[in-house]
Amino acid sequence: MGLNKIVANADIAIQDIQDGMTIMLGGFGLCGIPENCITALVKKGVKNLTCISNNAGVDDFGIGLMLQQKQVKKMISSYVGENAEFERQLLSGELEVELIPQGTLATRCMATGYGMPVIYTPAGVGTEVAEGKETRHFTMYGEEKEYLMERAFESDYAIVKAWKGDSQGNLVYRETARNFNPMMAMAGRITIAEVEEIVELGELNPDHIHTPGIYVHKIFQGENYQKRIEQLTVRKK
């Protein structure tokens, strides 16, 4: 049957996260973010965190709540345009920021999960992204190009959000809420999953499982999910 990985709540799930750690947080915009764990991290008050996430949330939700409390020392992200507090801390020098092309961010996460120390990508060659980094030339389909070497991430924890999960940590994501969650779940030294529903072992169709439980160390059923829309755009009548 394997180990039961269920813990009672977010507070217990994140209790071992300490100051100065590096954390991956799944989600895209406000979709599929581990909001219960973020709330627990704010409550715990851990500081000097390095956060790897596609974005930094908004001012009053997601990682934005951690930025308000100045818990984040460094953000490693692809898109950070919806957060005024993030902008203020960046411009004032309070927050270190590493902006990464989105495909590179995803592939560095996957490389960690696959046990690959580096990747080579053409994205960023000849730009500020490539400063101080190794490049090499490779030939593909008869065309030689320059590629930038990027290192796989090393994170203490990955925190992800799924739709359903079971006691062994098998996870199913719902539609676009899958986004960065599966690749980050693979990449964490320790992976915490919060889910909307925990189901009985064997209830999940093996063909429908997106993250096998081997990658997950702790799982709990979250509550009070807001499912907010980051930017609402409607047609004029």
Domains of the chain as residue ranges with CATH: 10-117+152-221 (3.40.1080.10), 118-151 (no CATH)
Q: Are 225 and 196 in contact (CB under 8 A)?
A: yes
Residue range 73-86, pLDDT digits in tens: 999 999 887 788 99
Burial class, 39, CB count within 10 angstroms (exposed 0-12 / middle 13-18 / buried 19+): middle
Decide: 82 and 230 in contact? Cβ < 8 Å: yes
* Side chain identity at residue 222, one-letter code: G
Angstrom distance (rounded) from CA 99 to CA 75? 8
pLDDT in tens, 52-62: 999 988 888 99
Helix (DSSP H) and strand (DSSP E) numbers for the chain: 6, 11
Instruction: Name the β-bridge partners of 220.
Output: 194
CA-CA distance, 201 to 139, in Å (whole number)? 48
Question: Average pLDDT of 206-213?
Answer: 96
Mean pLDDT (whole number) for 128-141: 94
Q: What is the distance between the alpha carbons of residues 173 and 30, in angstroms, rounded to a whole number?
A: 15
Q: Tell me what pLDDT residue 3 has.
A: 82
Give me 127's structure tokens.
Answer: 């730009």
Token pair listed for 232 = 């609402």
Residue ranges of alpha helices (H) inside 32-83 are 35-44, 63-68
100: closest CA among 52, 57, 145, 141? 52
Residue 1 is predicted with a pLDDT of: 46
Predicted confidence (pLDDT) per residue in 185-201, tens digit? 999 999 999 999 999 99
